[in-house]
Structure 1
C-alpha cells in the first residue's frame, strides 16, 4: 500500500495499529498531531505541540527524540522551516526492528558488546519469528555461558532444542 496516496487516512491507520507500535500515550498523541498539522499544511513548532498537550517544550523535544529513535519520526530542515515526516510509522520492517523486537536486539547488542549489523538484526528477527523470542534469549544466554557469542552457535542451540522437543518452559526451567 502506498502511504502517500490521498485515500489513506494516516490517523485511522495509527489508531488501528496502536497496539503494535509500542508507543507511550504522549508519543501516540504527538504522532497524531503531526499528521493532523501536516494534513492542514501548518508549520509545526515545538511550542504548538506543547500547548496542545499541556506539557513543556523540553518534554516535546524528548518525545521527538524518542520517536526518531524508534524510526517513526524524521525531522529535516527544508524550505526555511522544519519538516516533520512520520512515514517510518507505516514501514512494517521498521516497526519490526524498532518496535516489538527492539528489546531482543538490545539484548544481543548488550551481550555481544557492540552494535549489530542490519543483516545480524534481520537474522535474529527471523530466529525469533521461527523459534519464539524467549527461546532465542535463552539460547543467547546459553551461548554466553560458553563464551560463544555468535549467531551460528545460537542457531545450533535452537535447532538442538527443537529436535529434542523442548518448550520454552523446559529450557527456562533448566531441562536440556
Structure 2
C-alpha cells in the first residue's frame, strides 16, 4: 500500500472512529472552578467511553494516560469529593443487574453558575457603557447649551444690546475652561459695577480667580472679605507720603 493510500485510509478511519464533543466553555474555564489538567483529561477519557461504557475502570483510564493508577485514583476521588463527578447506580435490563455510571451533573451546575455570574457581569458592563455613552452624548451638551442661552440673555440684558458672534465665542471658551455660569455672571456684574464692559476685562477677572483657585461665588466673596480686611488695616496705620494707589484690585487687568 503506497503512502497516499495509507494516508487516505487513515483519515477515513480517523473520522469514522468517532468524535468526542467537549464544551469549549469547559476547556476555557476549568481552571477557574479548580480543576487541574490531569482531572480534565480524566473527564475527557470518561466522556470518550460514555456511550459504550459509562463506568470505565481506573486501570483502563491509567492505560491511556501517562499518569499512574494511584494518581488516577487520587484525581477521581478529588472530583467526587468536590461534587464535580458523581457515581450513580442504575438498573440494566439487558444484564439484569445494578451497574455504576459516572455523572457530570455537579460539573455542569458549577459551569452554569459561573456562566451566569459572567453573563450578569457582562450585561452590567454593557448597561454601564450604554449609560456612559448616553450621558456623554446628551447630558453634557444640554447643560452647556442651556448655559450658553442663559449667558447670552443675561449679557444682552446688562449690556443693552445684542452680542456679536465673536463675543459669544467667549462663553464657549469660558465654559470649556470649567468656569461656571455663576462665576461668569459674577464677573459681568463686577465689570458693570466698575463701568467696564469689555470682554477682555471680564476674562482677566476669571483668570485671576482661576489662578487663586476660586471656583465658587462663596469662595470669591470670602476672598473679597479678606482683601477688604487687609485694606482696612492698611488705612488704619499712619500713611507715608507716596504715590496714590487704587483700591480696586481688578484695575490692573483692564486692557
Whether TM-score is above 0.5 comes out as no
Structure-1-length-normalised TM-score: 0.43
Higher relative contact order (CA 8 A, sep 6+): 1
State the TM-score, normalized to the length of structure 2: 0.30
